Amino acid sequence: MPMNGKVVAITGAGRGIGREAAHVFAKAGAKVVMLGRDEDKMRRQAPQGATTFRCDVARWPEVEMAVASIAAAHGKLDVLINNAGVIDPIGDLATADPVAWGSAIDVNLKGVFHGMRAAVPVMRAQGGGTIITVSSGAAHKPYDGWSAYCAAKAGAAMLTRSAHLEEAMNGLRVMGLSPGTVATDMQRRIKNSGINAVSQLDFADHIPADWPARALLWMCGPDGDDYLGEEVSLRSEDIRRAVGLI
């Protein structure tokens, strides 16, 4: 999927799926803006031509400023990838730290809202754009010890549906990507917790981070139109085949 001249903002771009997506989109010709909390790390790992912007998605003023700066610098924002996410706290609901639990909601749910809230007016004014949120199987199935993560991902999935309902008529393409388990640092934290069946998987069981990154690029093309308002599941062999992963 060629992205020549397209402006693409990616949250959580300092590691994992976000970092891989930055490289995949840059290779496709996009003007990539990497958003994350560790700007030095992003700069060290950024593909050629990409720019970085320190941004904590849990903080609305930072997201608002980042998107406004992108629009001012480039005159538009074609794609927003809502990727930033955290798995902690992992543990029983009955003993969860309320502050840590709330912080996870701030990133995984409110962070998605902040991205949408900042990007939608820009995209609406320019006549269109694409917003893709990285979802999870945890949005639709509960897992032991992941109450904050599951609740936030479920909420983010509904935000995707809500944004599609409200903005499709304005030319916006809004959808989600459920990648399955991916070989990132998050899976190492899950493994170390020893809680629920996911922690029992070997690291080799997880798909490489470039797979969801390549799927995100594919979703920006016309093939993604079949999934507007919905989620693309990378567990599906048909999807993997369509993306060119197998």
Question: Catalytic positions, please?
Answer: 135, 149, 153
Which residue type, as a one-letter code, is found at position 181?
T
| 51-54 β-sheet, strand order | 51-54, 31-36, 7-11, 79-82, 129-134, 172-178, 231-233
Rounded Cα distance, 44 and 29, in Å: 20
Residue 8's nearest CA partner among 62, 76, 103 is 76
Q: Dihedral of CA 23/28/34/39: which sign?
A: positive
Alpha helices in the chain (DSSP H): 16-27, 39-45, 60-74, 98-105, 111-126, 147-167, 185-193, 210-219, 237-243
Q: Which run of H or of E encompasses 93?
A: none
> Is-contact 108 159, C-beta < 8 A?
no
